[in-house]
Structure 1
Amino acid sequence: MDGERNSYGIVYDLSTKKAKVTSTLPKDRDGQEYTVNNNHTAILKGNNIEIIKSDGTKIVVTKDTVDGIVNGGSAVHRNEFGINKGMWWSPDDKKLLYYRKDESMVSKYPLPQWDTRVATIKDIRYPMAGMKSEEVTLHIFDTETQKSIQIQSGEPKEQYLTIVTWDPSGKFVYVGVLNRGQNHLKLNKYDAQTGEFVSTLFEETSDSWVEPQEALVFLPNNPNQFIYQTDKDGFNQLYLYDTQGKLIKNLGFNDVIVTNFQGFDDKGSKAYYIGATNNGMERHLFEVDLKSGKTIQLTKANGTHHASVNGSGEYILDIYSNLNTANIVQVINKKNNKTENLISAANPFTGKVDLPKIEFKEFTSADGKTPLNARITYPTNFDPNKKYPVMVYLYGGSHAQLVTDRWLGGVGYFDMYMAQNGYIVFTMDNRGSDARGRDFTRVTHRNLGEAEMADQMVGIDYLKSLPYVDVENMGIFGWSFGGFMTSSLMTKHNDIFKAAVAGGPVMDWKYYEVMYGERYMDTPEENPEGYEKTSILDKADKLKGNLLIIHGAQDPFVVQQHSMDFVQKAIEAGKQVDYFLYPTHEHNVIGKDRIHMYEKIAKYFDLYLK
């Protein structure tokens, strides 16, 4: 299924034990969406949609040729709001619902290309915070009439269309319509035959932001009821509604945060989900009775579980790990809790690598109210009577969590390498990071980096109190939001770190894109004080220590302008900055070049901290 050759849709019949080719897909496609019964396949070719039928005939759905108009792609609203696809087949496989994105009015942003004798420019559409954004609509194509209709989602044109869901009858479509300010969501119902607005089932508002992430899930035995996920009451949980918008039951359980909805049993009376527990440190499987709301935690061993229940609800397939357990695969009998162990993976490093000691820590946030999770990786052959340099590795932004109770506590191999080379490696998840609930995240609103830095300082002060920490030789490393945090700490708390590496760093949120940036910061016009406070560009004169900035020249997310402008400000302030560019890479350095990058970072810390 790669892009260099034709691909095939294949159905395997378990009863006859025979495979059948249902479609042949061209190699020059950019994506595909199969119907349930595999008689049609919608494919993306460039910015348009075609349908390949099982007999090999083709239906052209869209024919847009205007630069900036894209049909059926998943890169709508820059993949925020849980968007991971741009086409949906109706339950009867006869109609295709799809996004049409018009970004022709969005500013072009130039990315220099270095692969020719005279460099060229690749333009991307990049709507910066406060600037003109894309206009998105939803359309339905009928394969029988070969005609399209538009969902009448109304004005203003700059709004977000999210959690798109077909009604089980195929007669209606549900869409979450979110305003550009991202603080007012309407769950709207539309007629799939005409595209006309039918009703608003309910609305959700917030003084910070509303962030829908998951499409509706209809009950298998009741097409008039569905499950909706929201954190409006503090934690992302399940809510049972009917198709008139009436709330039937809150299916939430304590402060458990739903991270992965698993589906229903065969009777449709119970639902299953993976939930974050223990202040976000663990993941467990839960069962909820849809009628009574009674909830049971089905997995017990501490750690991170990837588990599911069979259709009858009798058995649980449980795969889990924790800090000291590499991997266990087991089957649990739900009735008697008897467990059959299938796999107990041994430590894969035994006899090969001398693993450093890894330890969890818990701190209290800077406001004195909230527990924070942290992790320390000690140098190999750690001696508490010696002093060691420190590398703080952080991210700190939303939708990310670095510290969990899983194998090695989530320690990456680069962290392990640094520990093996004599560093204490420290990581903490500050307020604003994932899996801790609404209030834990919303504290960052309009002031990105401020509460996050205050929390990081709690962990840093702890490190400085340890007798075996060499406080004169501390370093910090982060990428993307972590690069922003690194740069912020090097300018706003400039007497701590002797060396730092900021990868793909946001230096000023007014250069970042609309969907993410305005959610957390509002627009520069609405929040000038917040943008000024969080910008690092006017704080380059405060830089102390040694800072290495790494950036991908093709970065379409944190454009290179961030780091280039900071370098210019540093020059004007008479500050020295080290800078390294990966000419062919985007936001992340991948492939074998990633080894090169980590080697550069390790040598940078060795140069200044040892």
Structure 2
Amino acid sequence: MKKLLVLFLFGSSFAYGQRNFNINETVFGPRQYAPKAIMAQQWIPGQDAFTYLDDTYQRLMVRDAKSNWTEREAINAARIMEILPTILPSKEGAKLAMFPYDYQWKDSNTLQFAVQNASGKHVINYNTASKQATLLASTPTDANNIEYNADLTQTAYLIENNIVIIDNNGKKTTVTNDSNKGIVNGSDYTHRQEFGIKKGMWWSPKNDKLLYYRKDETMVSNYPLIQWNERVATVKDIRYPMSGMKSEEVTLVVYDSKTGQKTTLKTGEPKEQYLTICTWDPSGEYIYVGVLNREQNHLKLNKYQATTGDFVQTLFEEKSNTWVEPQHALTFLPNNPKQFLYQTDKDGFNQLFLYTTEGKLVKQLGFEDVIVDKIHEFNTKGDRLVYTGITNKGLDRQLFEVQIPSGKTTQLTSESGFHTASLSSSGKYLFDQYSNITTPNKVDLTTVGNKTKVNMVTAENPFIGKIDLPRIEAVSLTSPDGTTALNGRIIYPNNFDPSKKYPVMVYLYGGSHAQLVQNKWLYGAGYFDLYMAQQGYIVFTLDNRGSDARGRDFTRVTHRHLGQAEMADQMQGIAFLKTKPFVDQTRMGIFGWSFGGFMTTSFMTHHPEVFHTAVAGGPVMDWKYYEIMYGERYMDTPQENPEGYNQTSLLNKADKLKGNLLIIHGAQDPVVVQQHSMEFVEACIKAGKQVDYFLYPTHEHNVSGKDRVHMYEKIAKYFDIHLKK
């Protein structure tokens, strides 16, 4: 096992006035001790100027190159509240706790934002030159999944499971009228929000047609969630498609707002398939859909005629012996409506591929082993694109610019760390906000080309003089086969004495689409991790194979055997800990939530000799009880992979449990349903094994708010009872 340790950050020497976190700060501390930053930054189109919120969140500030980036106020929340009664349909104002955080610049003088009051949600344009406001669109208070067309002449929204369109004169049109709650229209919760699905409706480029999902889940089993807040408890049924069972049937419908006509895209059979990455052609004549089979190993990018729904052609196909996981809609070039960018990790890392609308691959725009994390803006000519890329073995986020015609890629940011950066519309200036393990936050304004920098913010350590922060150390280990670097961190107790022995808390997740160790402030550590270190624990975290931001091969190793390669990697971390003389191997604990709860319980049953005490929150106990879209991607169906399901099930391993295990579950959990933990508790009873169990009656998959403080206190006390001497 190869290891590389680099010491960073804080010593634990005590300074006057410093103290440990209290339990409330494990939840509310991140905001209280946030390093100084520039929030909600946006470049103004056509100007070398940007705006952001001030420290009070009440004022929108502006800086520009002409004034040498001197700060001044653009508009404040008080002004917005002053003008609202004069333009809102109800002549009613709204009290703003802060300036609208999701504001947008539509042009060099027009600021757009949304506000809410008792009559609904309202979209407003504010002209910074004339200082006049205009109401553009309003939706009622019970509207959900709101989608505005580009010119804001029409707005689509959901009332329960049906779509309504309201125009800017207030006229409402009922698009769907399904009384059966098992038919859901326009919902972003289609395919349970897998495959990058974030919305369920898309307006056409010409603003006259609405594409929407129609989800038929009447054939999916009802799953009961007991509601405890009534005098006599009631049942809330949800549709929950479990692995290997019947799935929902989804179609895509085009509604023509001029004619009222509906057209269903002819996406074909079988009905149990996934319709993803839905994208309108810039002409409005065609729609592109990623059609993914239920097995999730064969994707077709299909083109359909919008007015007839007819299939036109398959542009290309993508196959895998594990899974194909589309996550991003197509991005058309602003200067060429016949070409688009497609993202895929088929060659190892999620990167950009340039295609024509006839399906011809023009070029691959990937750069080295950089993973495209998020694409941003094109330049004004439309021949360059800026994106955030993942580098440094998954630890860093850097800004890149790719020249579309040549494919030449330039890294725009340089300091190792986590960058949130953007270019001005002229391309002359780079706004760069970043942190790393030694830098709480820094904001520089750089002149592109000559690299002249103006420092806007250099944040001080927010804990100095307040909190006695424990020392954090970066750890690099290697996977058991010796081929893959694994990122980790270790947090030491305050006043650490290497001659003493300390109890350990391993905190892990380990599943897909999550990464716990990142090169940003605190190295990605949560406040509960820091709190437990202050209570005298060595706190250790490792991102195993299967977790995010490392590329295709890093994830696919888990296929059909979830938890196995992940535990093997985590055992490398455990072996590392056991080489440390200050680690008490008889007092080791482990804690994880969701997939981390599955990993925690897996360790307590597969490797019962390692951990003395464990806390598993919202844990998957048997993948046959988990939902189809996620579960079958990694495990296939129980019918196809009985060996894998048997190997990964924890219900048939309860008799192996030796240590202390506390299971925590939200009684309303619609993600990892409570049946998982109940079945495991029952298996423990049958095996004669003691297990501790605690429910949060009103919570779903995560425990939030003040109740989260209660949860952390319970977890901390559980470890103290069993691991503290």
Do they superpose with TM above 0.5?
yes
1:511-522 alignment to 2 at 5 Å?
511-522=625-636
| TM-aligned CA deviation for residue 3 of structure 1 | 9.1
Contact 2:145 2:188 in 1 (8 A): no
Contact 1:12 1:18 in 2 (8 A): yes
Which residue pairs with 1:544 in the alignment? 658
Which residue pairs with 2:487 in the alignment? 373
Which residue pairs with 2:287 in the alignment? 173
Structure of higher RCO (CA pairs closer than 8 Å, 6+ residues apart):
2
CA offset digits 1:291-314 (Å, max 9, x no partner) = 111111110001000111122221
| TM-aligned CA deviation for residue 11 of structure 1 | 2.1
1:38-77 alignment to 2 at 5 Å?
38-77=152-191
Contact 2:145 2:199 in 1 (8 A): no
Looking at structure 1, the residues matched to 435 and 284 of structure 2 have their Cα atoms a distance apart, in angstroms, of: 41
Contact 1:3 1:29 in 2 (8 A): no
| TM-aligned CA deviation for residue 6 of structure 1 | 1.5
- The one-letter code matched in structure 1 to 2:300 is K
| TM-aligned CA deviation for residue 174 of structure 1 | 0.4
Looking at structure 2, the residues matched to 7 and 163 of structure 1 have their Cα atoms a distance apart, in angstroms, of: 28
Any idea what SS the aligned residue of 1:459 has? Answer: helix
Looking at structure 1, the residues matched to 695 and 685 of structure 2 have their Cα atoms a distance apart, in angstroms, of: 18
Which residue pairs with 1:535 in the alignment? 649
Q: Kindly indicate whether residue 303 of structure 2 is the aligned counterpart of residue 189 of structure 1.
A: yes
Contact 2:508 2:542 in 1 (8 A): yes
Looking at structure 2, the residues matched to 392 and 354 of structure 1 have their Cα atoms a distance apart, in angstroms, of: 21
Give 1:444's match in structure 2, choosing from 558, 580, 592: 558
Contact 2:560 2:636 in 1 (8 A): yes
CA offset digits 1:262-315 (Å, max 9, x no partner) = 121111111111011010010100111111111111100010001111222211
Any idea what SS the aligned residue of 2:500 has? Answer: coil
Looking at structure 1, the residues matched to 723 and 185 of structure 2 have their Cα atoms a distance apart, in angstroms, of: 52
CA offset digits 1:322-355 (Å, max 9, x no partner) = 0011111111111111111111111111111011
Which residue pairs with 2:328 in the alignment? 214
Looking at structure 2, the residues matched to 380 and 34 of structure 1 have their Cα atoms a distance apart, in angstroms, of: 53
Looking at structure 1, the residues matched to 636 and 118 of structure 2 have their Cα atoms a distance apart, in angstroms, of: 43
Q: Kindly indicate whether residue 695 of structure 2 is the aligned counterpart of residue 581 of structure 1.
A: yes
| TM-aligned CA deviation for residue 260 of structure 1 | 0.6
CA offset digits 1:468-525 (Å, max 9, x no partner) = 0011101000000000000000010001111100000000000000000000000000
1:55-204 alignment to 2 at 5 Å?
55-204=169-318
Which residue pairs with 1:498 in the alignment? 612
1:424-503 alignment to 2 at 5 Å?
424-503=538-617
- The one-letter code matched in structure 1 to 2:244 is G
- The one-letter code matched in structure 1 to 2:187 is G
Q: Kindly indicate whether residue 527 of structure 2 is the aligned counterpart of residue 419 of structure 1.
A: no
| TM-aligned CA deviation for residue 14 of structure 1 | 4.1
Looking at structure 2, the residues matched to 345 and 64 of structure 1 have their Cα atoms a distance apart, in angstroms, of: 54
Looking at structure 2, the residues matched to 125 and 543 of structure 1 have their Cα atoms a distance apart, in angstroms, of: 33
| TM-aligned CA deviation for residue 12 of structure 1 | 2.2
Looking at structure 1, the residues matched to 283 and 384 of structure 2 have their Cα atoms a distance apart, in angstroms, of: 22
Looking at structure 2, the residues matched to 579 and 131 of structure 1 have their Cα atoms a distance apart, in angstroms, of: 29
Contact 1:509 1:531 in 2 (8 A): yes
Contact 2:509 2:595 in 1 (8 A): yes
Looking at structure 1, the residues matched to 665 and 119 of structure 2 have their Cα atoms a distance apart, in angstroms, of: 33
Tell me, which stretches of 5 or more residues in structure 1 are unaligned? none
| TM-aligned CA deviation for residue 551 of structure 1 | 0.2
- The one-letter code matched in structure 2 to 1:62 is T
CA offset digits 1:560-602 (Å, max 9, x no partner) = 0000000000011110000000000000001110000000000
Any idea what SS the aligned residue of 1:547 has? Answer: strand
- The one-letter code matched in structure 1 to 2:161 is N
Give 2:462's match in structure 1, choosing from 348, 352, 369: 348
Contact 1:109 1:125 in 2 (8 A): yes
| TM-aligned CA deviation for residue 117 of structure 1 | 2.2
Looking at structure 1, the residues matched to 256 and 626 of structure 2 have their Cα atoms a distance apart, in angstroms, of: 38
CA offset digits 1:394-447 (Å, max 9, x no partner) = 000000000010001011000010011111100000000000000000000000
Tell me, which stretches of 5 or more residues in structure 2 are unaligned? 1-114
Looking at structure 2, the residues matched to 272 and 443 of structure 1 have their Cα atoms a distance apart, in angstroms, of: 31
Any idea what SS the aligned residue of 1:97 has? Answer: strand
Looking at structure 1, the residues matched to 576 and 143 of structure 2 have their Cα atoms a distance apart, in angstroms, of: 53
- The one-letter code matched in structure 1 to 2:270 is P
| TM-aligned CA deviation for residue 538 of structure 1 | 0.3
1:300-315 alignment to 2 at 5 Å?
300-315=414-429
Which residue pairs with 2:40 in the alignment? none
Superposition TM-score, scaled by structure 1 size: 0.99
Looking at structure 1, the residues matched to 175 and 689 of structure 2 have their Cα atoms a distance apart, in angstroms, of: 56
- The one-letter code matched in structure 2 to 1:385 is S
Contact 1:9 1:25 in 2 (8 A): no
| TM-aligned CA deviation for residue 69 of structure 1 | 0.6
Which residue pairs with 2:344 in the alignment? 230
1:237-248 alignment to 2 at 5 Å?
237-248=351-362
Any idea what SS the aligned residue of 2:702 has? Answer: coil
Identity across the alignment (%): 66
